[in-house]
Amino acid sequence: MRVDIITCLPSLIESPFAHSIIQRAIAQEKVEINIHDLRAYATNKHRQVDDAVYGGGAGMLLMIEPIARCIDALRAKVNYQEVIYMAPDGELLTQGMANQLSLQENLLILCGHYKGIDERVRAHFITREVSIGNYVLSGGELAAAVLVDSVVRLLPGVLSDSTSALTDSFQEDLIAPPAYTRPAIFRGMEVPPVLLSGHEKAIEAWRYEKALERTKERRPELGINY
């Protein structure tokens, strides 16, 4: 997979990709992540990428011209299945959306200011708008990092145990069951004995039951029909 990210704050979004699972996915060439500084596509000598809103009002909007130049330059080389704009009023990111995006070859992601971008960008360049939740962030960068993380970890070969993505919370609309590691007893707190029993079938049944219980208790809206 190839992911291109357009931002006017490149350093804000570099670090999340420089660690752990995503860093390894990049090193193993399962994904290529390219960050593009919008300022490099500015047209005036001040490298201006935002301007005041027509009609008045507070805040600055990202201008269409640098964005169009940047997207055009990228599109001349790469065929993107989706051109995503990170926006608080976009479609809510779900595990289902991450699964679907993980099947694509090339994604282009545009991060905006919190006041947003010129509406003509949304109308003419963007194929999909994504939000990571019902709260407002100061820009799209952190949201883009969340989106990319949720997608890249699903790419084949990225997680060492290939089944572990399938047992995540939210796959199958279930919350993951409780999990334990050594020691078996800590200050009198015991690990459920079934997990130490070695009975694979019994363990699987226990985990499924706990996953159902947890989902009902914590996130009943996720419910599949039990």
Residues contributing to the site for ligand 6GU (CB under 6 A) = 86-88, 114, 130-133, 135-137, 139-140, 143
Smallest distance from ligand 6GU to CB 147, Å? 8
- Taking the C-alpha atoms of residue 93 and residue 154, their distance in angstroms, rounded to an integer, is 15
Q: How far is the CB of 59 from ligand 6GU (least distance, A)?
A: 12
Whichever of 146 and 154 has its CB closer to ligand 6GU, that residue is 146
Minimum separation from the CB atom of position 219 to ligand 6GU (A):
19
Least spacing, CB of residue 114 vs ligand 6GU, in Å = 5
* Beta-strand pair 32-37/2-7: parallel
């078996």: which residue's tokens?
184
Q: Please identify, using beta-carbon distances, which residue of 22 and 87 lies nearer to ligand 6GU.
A: 87
Question: In terms of C-beta distances under 8 Å and separation of at least 24 residues, what long-range contacts does 96-102 make, across chains too?
Answer: 97/130, 98/147, 98/150, 98/151, 98/154, 99/154, 101/147, 101/151, 102/1, 102/151, 102/152, 102/154, 102/155
Judged by beta carbon, residue 9 or residue 195, the one nearer ligand 6GU is 9
Rounding to the nearest 10 degrees, give the CA dihedral for residues 59, 63, 67, 68.
150
Nearer CB in complex with ligand 6GU: 16/88: 88
DSSP 3-state of 37: strand
Q: Output 82 or 172, the one with its CB closest to ligand 6GU.
A: 82
State the pairing for strand pair 50-52/60-62. antiparallel
User: How many Cβ atoms from other residues are within 10 Å of residue 85's Cβ?
Assistant: 24
* Residue 216 Cβ vs ligand 6GU, minimum distance, rounded to whole Å: 27
